[in-house]
Structure 1
Amino acid sequence: MRSRNSDPETRLETLKLIIYLVPIFGFFPSLWSLYLRQGSQREQTVSKTAVTLALAWVMVYVLTAAGSQASDLVSTRLLVTSLLTTTGYFVTNLWLMVRLLQGGSARLPGVSKLGDRLP
């Protein structure tokens, strides 16, 4: 009996979902998928999660970079916060990719709930 992961369509969909979760670059195909409103429910969920994570990362990154330029007093702390945020973004996306390869879900508490509000 063949497992579900050996189905070529399932493998192709999983590859597409992993591309959506590639940090920074996966944002654009994810956003395009959401814009066209095409793909399975799983694809839409992963796209929303990827877009939400990327937008949150960009927002924190820009705010911490602007804050570190504006104030010398706390610039080191803000730059460390930016570094930790970037590391967390990359590790989270990598972890979600591994979960998808294992056949799991790409939903994250809080992030997926926020992503579900995207049209």
Structure 2
Amino acid sequence: MYARQAGCPSDFADVTVDFEPWEEGVAFETPADLAVRGDATPEEAAEFQAAVADGIRLELAALETGTTVAVAVVLRAMGIHAVDSHPRAFHHAGRLAVRNALALIHPPARPKRRRPSPRS
């Protein structure tokens, strides 16, 4: 979910995606039974879906040099707000989806606790 309240209008996009192993590259799929919460015209929904795909592709392209990307991404659900949803918000949601998926695979290292130094 990407939500930012900084006045009116704000940013809102809620997406559920599955990342699955696939051939080298990025395949983006939107199934016919996509769950859409909220109101959007078919044209708006298609624009939001394209923005999610673009955000995912850009975030994966920004990975370290030499990283091989081989993934199929399936958009399962979208939450849309009548006022605050727009393509840029869905683009950010796509980028965040990649970051969240990578954090599940490679959690950030926890800092080691330092032992207190002995008192003299």
Fold-level match, TM-score > 0.5? no
Larger Rg: 2
TM-score (normalised: structure 1): 0.31
Whose relative contact order is higher, 1 or 2, with alpha carbons under 8 Å and at least 6 apart? Answer: 2
Structure number with higher helix proportion: 1
Structure number with higher strand proportion: 2
TM-score (normalised: structure 2): 0.31
